[in-house]
Amino acid sequence: MNTPTLHDAGPSHKKPRLARWIIAIGLSAGTTLMAATAAPAQDDPARKILKAMSDYVGSQKNLSVTFDSDIEIITLELQKLQFTSSGQFTLSRPDKLRASRTGGYNDVEFIFDGKTFTVNDRDDKAYAQAEGVSTVDQLVQKLRNEFSVEAPGADLLLTSSYAALTEDVVDAKHIGQGVIDGMECEHLAFRSAETDWQIWVQTGPNPIPRKYVITSKAVTGGPQYTLRIKEWRTDPQIAANTFSFTAPAGARKVDFRALAHTDEVPAATAIGASK
């Protein structure tokens, strides 16, 4: 069986886009938030801080990160449910990536060795592979364009994350400061036609993202995705076989469509309608 290229997956195989199934945790309209919203747009300071973060992250050749993520859905009965996962990734620019995500419904890893991209379902002992890209940046775009895999946190890893993050931004604000896991951060808020999103960037000489929240405005209830960075290491010691994949004993090779259940939301969940 030949290894397919990433171009092989057509529209009929696409998963729902992020804005169709993430849902927001309710936010109270407190005095502080109202004051920040009413304040004049602080576009330049917010963009300057985000650009500094992008330049710093993009300049790091090797990264190792651990994270927690929350993704929520609104059911057909308008009930809010949240699904939580933890994971880690190791990146070696420009063309090596290994990531894993473990939640209550799946245990999956992703490996890219510069030529072949592998999704390994460790629960079901099944894996799928594809080729067709040569860098991590290209891989992220291919997964979105041809597999409809959003991976919203991946924007933070791109060589030029600033361009990707601000592509559709119509408003930017520097809200103030916040503390994430004991680290002082700059709190930024951005708006586009379909989403509002916030990011907390660590202050000081290492402006790394500590928290990232995306809220959809296109779905009833305001779907929300949250990524929290727990540990961020630059120039970690990376073993020679980190980006290699060897199929586990008894594992079977399948089509990517057979691994749709490895999404962060259980496949049996009935999702509510968009606006």
Domain coordinates in residue numbering, the chain? 17-25+40-262
Burial of 188 (0-12, 13-18, 19+ CB in 10 A): buried
| Residue keyed to tokens 């004049």 | 40
User: What's the rounded Cα separation, in Å, for the pair 263 and 256?
Assistant: 12
- In this structure, which amino acid lies at residue 33? L
pTM for this prediction: 0.81
What amino acid occupies position 271?
Answer: I
Q: How far apart are CA 219 and CA 194, in angstroms?
A: 9
Question: pLDDT tens per residue, the chain (275 residues)?
Answer: 444 444 333 333 333 334 333 333 333 333 334 334 444 445 699 999 999 999 999 999 999 999 999 998 888 888 889 999 999 999 999 999 999 999 988 899 999 999 999 999 999 999 999 998 999 999 998 888 877 677 788 999 999 999 999 999 999 999 999 999 999 999 999 999 999 999 999 999 999 999 999 998 888 888 899 999 999 999 899 998 999 999 999 999 999 888 887 877 776 665 665 66
DSSP codes joined into one string, the chain: -PPPBGGG--GGGPPPPGGGT--PPP----HHHHHHHHSPP-HHHHHHHHHHHHHHHHH-SEEEEEEEEEEEEE-TT--EEEEEEEEEEEEETTTEEEEEEEESS-EEEEEE-SSEEEEEETTTTEEEEEE--SSHHHHHHHHHHHH----GGGGGGSTTHHHHHTTT--EEEEEEEEEETTEEEEEEEEE-SSEEEEEEEE-SS---EEEEEEEESSBTT--EEEEEEEEEEES----TTTT---PPTT-EE--GGGGGGGSSS-TTPPPPPB-
Q: Which residue has the tokens 């990264």?
A: 63
The predicted pLDDT at position 266 comes to: 73
What pLDDT is stored for residue 56 in this prediction? 97
Residue 12, judged by CB atoms within 10 A of its CB (0-12, 13-18, 19+), counts as exposed
Instruction: Specify the fold of 17-25+40-262.
Output: outer membrane lipoprotein receptor (LolB), chain A (2.50.20)
In this prediction, residue 25 carries a pLDDT of 31
Q: What is the distance between the alpha carbons of residues 108 and 190, in angstroms, rounded to a whole number? A: 31
